[in-house]
Structures are given as structure tokens and as C-alpha cells.
Amino acid sequence: MVEEPDDNPYVQTPDTSFDPVERMEERAARKQAERLREAIGYHDYRYYVANDPVIADRTYDTLFDRLQELEAAFDLDDENSPTRRVGGEPLDELETVEHVAPMLSLQSSGDPEEIREFDRRIREAVGEVNYSVEPKFDGLSIEVVYEDGVFVRAVTRGDGEKGDDVSASLRTVGSVPLRLPDGPDLLAVRGEVYMPRSGFQDLNERRIERGDDPFANPRNAAAGTIRLLDPETVASRPLEVYFYDVIETSATLRSQTTAVDLLRDLGFRVDDETAVVDDIEGILDYRDRLMDERADLEYEIDGVVAKVVDFAARERLGSTARHPRWAFAYKFPARTGETTVERIVVQVGRTGKLTPVALLDPVDVRGVTISRATLHNATHVRELGVREGATVRIERAGDVIPEVVEVTGPAAGESDDAGFAMPETCPVCGGRVVEEGEYHFCANASCPAQLKRSIQHFCSRDAMDIQGVGERTAEQLVDEGLVDSVADLYDLDRAALTELSGWGERSADNLLAELEASEGATLGTFLYALGIRHVGTERARALAAAFPLSRLMDASAEALRAVEDVGPEVAEAVTAFFQTPANVETVERLAAAVAPERRAGDGNGDGELDGLTVVFTGSVPGYTRSELSDLLERHGARVTSSVSGETDYLVVGENPGTRKRERAAENGVETLDPEAFEKRVLSRIG
């Protein structure tokens, strides 16, 4: 437990009646900033590591704001100020730096005989020992170096000798200490960066909402995030670290337990699952226990690590070039399976993206039967060397779509096979296939595969919410020739519908009623429903607020980029969409049928909430984000995705992010909890 700073007025019941900065002398300002940094560092520890905050969030925000204000007014720059948590300047690239000492890896196996053998060798060499047993975190290994009690850098493992300097990213992780008031002169620690399961799911939901591709699993998400060049984006993502080792220090340490105690006392986040056992049976039991608890943990683990506790014994055991002889990773049976690829097929998605998929001889992977696995793209297939008939290892990682991770055996007699090639024409419509980076797309906008997916998307709940049009109906409508373009939906004829197999008058009438009810949707909903790449619900809304439909259709990439959260890739996707004549025709016909209305708080509305700008973080019980946004916009409010000076309210729901709250505090934006939101906003629209 870190001790409370002495004699600091901002720790317990802080006095937040600050003098205006303009009236402060520089010396007093420096002193106040220093005390605020010390206090905020302590509050971060209490909040993120000890899970036992001393002060209310609001008070914390006031201290934080004050520190930012002082730093700005008096140019008090400090890399390790807690204000860096919200992100600093974007970097041009990551620098490669050397580790303080080589970052070794671990001997590992899932075979109990091998861990018994490890234990025997140890006892032969040094006699009986105790083992520290720990979860084997499935994240990314990181080295963090402190000199004279301050954070100097964080480096990825890289090749073990050198790695990438990710200091700016790691500084944004609230639980990582930036200062160690009682730290040794030198301390290099090792830990694992990961993304908690719940945070990973939220992040993916948000990405899908925005029209971005979701991450495959928490590990990829953490790895992708830590190497981002923009610390502000990193700060908005839920990263965590567990520290488990001291790599190098000027302090004297005798054992793993004293090392971990030191880390804990200095304020590092260490995992309480760690235990000490006195023999091999203890390791095996610990492993069985964690196997059972695995699904309940907030992080992914892929085994347990056993380490000799006593450092003198470690010294005698020594290390090979790659791994220490005193530690061993006992891996869980992987959630992988081996099977053969029966066929590789190519699927066409809504945006026309071609995805190779392996159809497998069905295999049970820890309780789930897997018969297909994604191969992502042609490059991936080539790099793995997957072909029909090959034996492959597939993996279910982080409860997502299974993927082929390795080819373990070529198929007998298949060696002449030229291997997989992306088709030159679309497997569904025969249209032209175009390459974009690693991906291939069908260029035919009226490709039936794309059309079916587009219809499904157009009718989905967050889009036009036309109930009853799922995968099967979309297929039927296209295959039976009733719909050649999404716009044909609004020309559907009752007689033709009733003739479809499985349809009667009731279902036909229901669909027609649903279609009619969708008329007059908001422009934001309509734009989202069009299924333009990278345009999820939020970006669609932002575009609708910025342009009427006719102007949006002609907007230049430059004009689009002026819209919130629209970067070059998104702008390019939008212009490309509206430059395709078939799309223009569809949109014009749809617009005539639907007559989408622009009501997104752009001054055109006459709603009860005209002129109100609202941002959400976390979820409001009883509503999806998109239902709420729709509701507010229908009444004239504007719902945006980031907090600025123009925001009226930040609605803080369940599991909120920290970034938006910080921005709200910075901009003096009022925050509302769900109850206050109900009273202050929802009640105005009845």
C-alpha cells in the first residue's frame, strides 16, 4: 500500500477554492502544480490500483483542471505530469530502444510430464524450492524503466534485446505510476499489457457503430492500441497492466516475493491470483484451479507460470540465451483444434468485400463444433500456405469467429496444386474484382450477394428498422427477382409477395406496413442504412447534420473532412460511393420514396430539443445508443461523439469511458447521470 503524501492539501477533503491563475506569482504556481501532481498521482493510485478512491470524481476533476490551467498559464511542461494521461502530441514514429537487460522468454509446454521434469531438474541442482505461481497473461510483454523515482520509458519486448518505445501510450494507462516517491534509483519492471474483456467488447461495439472493423480478440486490440502514434486515441481505449517481475534494480531483493512486495508497496498493479506453493503438486493444483476460474477472469490467460522464489537458487540455476532455467510456463490446452480443409470458398459481403473462408471437416474445439473458419484475405491465405486438403490448426480466440492459424501438414498427393487464388471475377455475379491493399472487392454495385446483404442492412434495427427482413427474406426477394436494387423494396407489390413460398397475405401486408412506417426517417438513419463503408450510425449522423442529402452527394473529400470524425479514408469511401452511377440512381429513388428528413439539430427542426447538443458515454439502461440518438434527433437535438465547448450535456451511463468525462470537465460541460438525463431531457419530449 502506498502511503499518503505528507502535508499535501489536495489529498483528504481538498480545498478547491483556487485563486484565479492571473493573480498568482510564478513561484506559488509552481509549488501548487507540484503538490497537485503529487496528490493526483496518489489519487490515480487509489482509484486505478487500490480500487478505493479517497475523493469524489468531481473533486478529482477540479484538481485535474486546475493543474492543466496552471501548466498552460506558466508553461510548466512535465512529461510525467498526470495531465499526460489524457494524451500528448502525436508521434511521427516509434523509436527502437535497447532494453536495460535482455527480456527473456519462458520454456513452455502443456504436457504435465514436462513440468514434472522441470521440477526434477531444479531439485537435482539446488534441492527443495518454493515456487511462485502466477497466471500467464495473454497480452503483450512490456518493460517499464524508472530512474530516480520517475517514469523514463516503456518498451515493447521486440526481439528481446530491443523493442519499440511506447512511453507516450503507456503514460495514458491510469494504473501505471508516473512517479515513485520512495522508489530506488533504478528500477526496470516487467509486466503484461492487456485489454479487459468488457472494455474489449465495448470498444468493438463502438467500432462497429462507427463503421470500423472490429478487433479479432483482446490481445490484438491491446497490441494494436499500444503501438498507435496518437496518445489521445490510446487514452480513449481500455488498457490495463499487471506487473510481475523486476528486471533490474538498485534495491536489494532476495526473492520473487520480496520483489512483488516491493512492486505492490511502490504502487504497481500486481495480480492477487499470484500464490506460493512448495512442490510440483502445488503447481498442478494451481493450474487446475485457474483452468476452472479462467472464464470468470477479466483478462485472458493461456496457462500458469511457475518461478523459483529464491533468488540465490535462481542465480545457481542460471539462464540459456533464450530463457531462464528457473521458470516454466505450463500452458492450458489451447482452444485450438486440427482438421482438414475441405474447400476454400469466397464470400461476398455487403460492401463487396471478398473473404476467403475455409470449409472444414467439422471438429470439436473445447465444446464447440467448428466447420468453417475465416482466412481473412488472399495475402493471409498465401502466407499461411493454406490449400484445399491441407491439415490446419484453427483457433477460437476471445470468443470470436474461428480462424485458421497454421498449416500443420500438406495434403497427400496435393503438392502440384497451385494453391488458392482470389477469383478474377466475383463468384456470385461474375463482376469485375478490384484490389484494395490486401483486400479484394466486387466492383458490381448490383451484385446479388452485395444486394442481399445491403437489403438486410438497410432493414436492420439501427438502420430503417423494417422488421421481418432478415437473411432468408432478403435472399428470397433477390432470388425470386422481386428486388434488383434496394430501392425496389418500396415498389414491392402485394400480389407478388403473397406468391412467394411461405408467404401469405398477412406477411405481405406486414412487410408493406413496415416499409410505409419507415418513410420519413431521419437523414442520419437513412445515410447509415445505405451501408457506405466506414459510415456507422455516428458518422452518418454527423454527415446528416453537416449536409442536406443533395449537397452530400456532391461533396468533395475536403468538405467531408471538415465533419467530425471523418478522416481521409472515410471521406474517400463516401465520395467513391456517390461517384458510382448505380448508387446515385438507387439513392435518388430511395430518397423519393423515403423522403428522409434532416432534423439533426441543424436549425431546420421545430422540436422541443432544438439547439441542444448531447454526448453519451456508457450505456443508459433501457435503450441502445442508437435508439436514444434517434429519439433525441427526432426532437431536434444534436447527438455527437465527442465533447467540445459546444456540448450542452454529457450523459454518463453505465461503464462510462474516462476520456469524455475528462473533456467535459475541461470544457465546463455539465454531466448528467441517467436519472438526471431522464428528468432534464427525456421529460421535455414526453
672 counts as binding ligand IVH under rule CB under 6 A:
no
Inter-residue contact 308 to 325 (CB < 8 Å): no
Instruction: By CB under 6 A, tell whether 104 contacts ligand IVH.
Output: yes
Closer CB to ligand IVH, residue 5 or residue 324?
324
Applying CB under 6 A, among 8, 59, 105, 446 the residue interacting with ligand IVH is 105
CB of 193 to ligand IVH, least distance (A): 9
Tell me if 327 contacts ligand IVH by CB under 6 A: yes
In this structure, which amino acid lies at residue 163? Answer: G
Q: Give the Cα separation of 170 and 193 in Å (integer).
A: 9
Site for ligand IVH in 48-87 (CB under 6 A): none
Between 197 and 561, CB nearer to ligand IVH: 197
Residue among 70, 246, 305, 669 that touches ligand IVH (CB under 6 A):
305
Longest dimension (CA), the chain: 87
# residues near ligand IVH by CB under 6 A: 15
Residue with smaller CB distance to ligand IVH, 24 or 106: 106
User: C-beta of 244: minimal distance to ligand IVH in Å?
Assistant: 4
Question: Rounded to an integer, what distance in angstroms lies between the CA atom of residue 251 and that of residue 259?
Answer: 10
Burial classification of residue 197, based on how many CB atoms lie within 10 Å of its CB (0-12 exposed, 13-18 middle, 19 or more buried)? middle
- The three cell numbers of residue 367 are 465444446
Q: Applying CB under 6 A, does 244 fall inside the site for ligand IVH?
A: yes
**Nearest distance in Å: CB 303, ligand IVH:** 8
Does 410 interact with ligand IVH (rule: CB under 6 A)? no
Fill in the amino acid letter for 349. G
> Using the rule CB under 6 A, is 240 a contact of ligand IVH?
no
159 versus 505: smaller Cβ distance to ligand IVH:
159
d(CA 650, CA 661): 8
Span from 74-82, 100-108, 173-181, 288-296 in contact with ligand IVH (CB under 6 A): 100-108
> Nearer Cβ to ligand IVH, position 131 or 137?
137
106 binds ligand IVH (CB under 6 A): yes
**Interface pick for ligand IVH out of 134, 143, 165, 403 (rule CB under 6 A):** 134
The only residue of 5, 53, 324, 389 in contact with ligand IVH, by rule CB under 6 A: 324
Considering only 165, 192, 240, 395, the residue that binds ligand IVH (CB under 6 A) is: 192
- Which one, 65 or 245, has the nearer CB to ligand IVH? 245
Closest separation between CB of residue 301 and ligand IVH, Å? 8
Nearer to ligand IVH, 293 or 654 (CB): 293
Q: How far apart are CA 604 and CA 48, in angstroms?
A: 45
Q: Could you give the CA distance from residue 127 to residue 348 in angstroms, rounded to a whole number?
A: 62
In the list 42, 48, 118, 137, the residue contacting ligand IVH (rule: CB under 6 A) is: 137
**Angle CA(594)–CA(548)–CA(467) in degrees, nearest 5?**
30
Q: Which residues pair with 670 in a beta bridge?
A: 649
Q: Which of 178, 114, 110, 175 is nearest to 147 (CA)?
A: 178
Starting at the edge strand that comes first in sequence, how are the strands of the sheet with 301-308 ordered? 107-109, 327-331, 301-308, 131-137, 275-277
Q: What CA–CA distance (Å, rounded) separates 665 from 617?
A: 14
Residue 359 forms beta bridges with which residues? 343, 372
**Which triple of cell numbers denotes residue 631?**
429519439
* Residue nearest to ligand IVH as judged by C-beta position: 141
What long-range pairs does 258-264 form, CB within 8 A, spacing at least 24? 260/132, 263/189, 264/1
Q: Is 136 in the site for ligand IVH (CB under 6 A)?
A: yes
| Cβ atoms of residues 141 and 308 within 8 Å | no
> Would you name the residues annotated as active-site residues?
136
Which of 62, 141, 255, 454 forms a contact with ligand IVH (CB under 6 A)?
A: 141
In the complex, the smallest distance separating the C-beta of residue 136 from ligand IVH, rounded to whole angstroms, is 4
For residue 450, give the nearest of 384, 518, 380, 530 by alpha carbon: 530
Cβ atoms within 10 Å of 108's Cβ, excluding its own: 17
Residue closer to ligand IVH by CB (options 133, 530) is 133
The residues that touch ligand IVH, with contacts defined as CB under 6 A, are: 104-106, 134, 136-137, 141, 157, 192, 244-245, 305, 324, 327, 329
